[in-house]
Amino acid sequence: MLNQDTDITKNIRIIEFLKSELLTTVASLYQGLLKGTKVGQEVIQDTLANLVLVTYLLGKRLGISYSLIDSRMLEKIRIGMLEEHETEKWYGDLTDLSEYLKKKKG
């Protein structure tokens, strides 16, 4: 019983840590974008990569598989394309992302 309690406690602690990490990373992104070119593209790239990484890890700790997250994301992309989301209508970003993910998957 003690081992199971320890596992539950560890899982709760890591979930709280990942939630905090997610908020901290979003704040870092806002700060980086506010500073503009002073920060540099590499810092913004690292911050965005960390957002994706933490999101996947948090999902896993909440019992959501990486593939389910990917499936939901692809579904959201498809819906956004059908509903002509602004990023799709103006730039075709959702189509680009969909094609990228399909190439990566295949």
DSSP string, 44-74: HHHHHHHHHHHHHHHHHHTT--HHHHHHHHH
Asked if the model's pLDDT at residue 2 lies above 80, the reply is: no
Full domain range(s) for residue 17: 1-64
Number of structural domains in the chain: 2
pLDDT at residue number 96: 95
pLDDT at residue number 104: 82
- Mean pLDDT score of the chain, rounded to an integer? 91
pLDDT at residue number 40: 83
What average pLDDT does range 1-15 have in this prediction? Answer: 84
Is the distance from CB of 66 to CB of 59 less than 8 angstroms?
yes
Q: Which residues 6+ apart lie within 8 Å of 27 measured at CB? A: none
Q: Could you tell me how many helices (H) and strands (E) the chain has, helices first? A: 5, 0
Is residue 11 domain-shared with residue 50, that is, in the same domain?
A: yes
Is residue 57 domain-shared with residue 29, that is, in the same domain?
A: yes
The reported pTM is 0.86
